Amino acid sequence: MIRISQLKKKLSDDFTLEIEDLTIQNGERVALIGVNGSGKSTLLRLLAGLIKPDSGEITASFSPETVCFQPQAPFCFRRSVRENVLLAAADQERCDRFLRECCIAGLKDRKASSLSGGEKQRMYLARSLAADPALFLADEPLSAVDLATGEALEELLRQEFDVPDKTLVFSTHLPKQAFSIATKIILLDGGRISECGAPEELRSPRSDFGKAFFSQWTWR
């Protein structure tokens, strides 16, 4: 479980992330959505321990070695795609499984540095999932993936984190993706939580910002 209390993190004179109270239960799939600059990436980096809050606290039941963070710009080693994924996998079988699941089995012998942005994203996702994290923090993990592949990876994330001892927290700029994957959605506005609840609750947002934000999306 993750518990955030009275958290503040100032990034500039114009922006401070402020979260009074938030609990993420084990087994939840949590989507962070909002416009650019709303605090999604900052919150993920705070949860990953990459930056520290100015005040308040974050308490978590996860040990550091069971936490995996995927940034927006994935890092790759100067090795083949298979070797990059195998660094995190317990064995070759698990490595090969996620190469297939993330639709990059056909690229396994290529140098990771030669991949496109979307291909690198899929490789990093395969490496992250192969590590079997108890807490997976992902910053827009599917932003550079094409529509058909994205839908397959959404299903993969739902399956991998449909267990009580594994938790997913990810950001996305696509509400449709959030509603597809998540069991809880957090809408951020200017560094504060505007809406928080199950997908069915956010289909009828309460805040003015939530109503305006979701009204842009005809899929609803």
The verdict on 146 and 195 lying in the same domain is: yes
The verdict on 122 and 145 lying in the same domain is: no
Summarised one tens digit per residue, pLDDT across range 196-216 is 999 999 999 999 999 999 888
Radius of gyration of the chain (CA): 17
Cα(first)–Cα(last) distance of the chain, in Å?
31
In whole angstroms, what is the distance from residue 218 CA to residue 72 CA? Answer: 27
Domain range spanning residue 80?
75-132
The verdict on 8 and 42 lying in the same domain is: yes
The pTM of this model reads 0.96
- Written as six digits, the tokens of 178 are 């959030």
Summarised one tens digit per residue, pLDDT across range 35-51 is 999 999 999 999 999 99
**Residues of the chain predicted below pLDDT 70:** 218-220
**Whole-number mean pLDDT of the chain?**
95
Give me the number of domains the chain comprises: 2
| End residue of a domain, out of 87, 114, 132 | 132
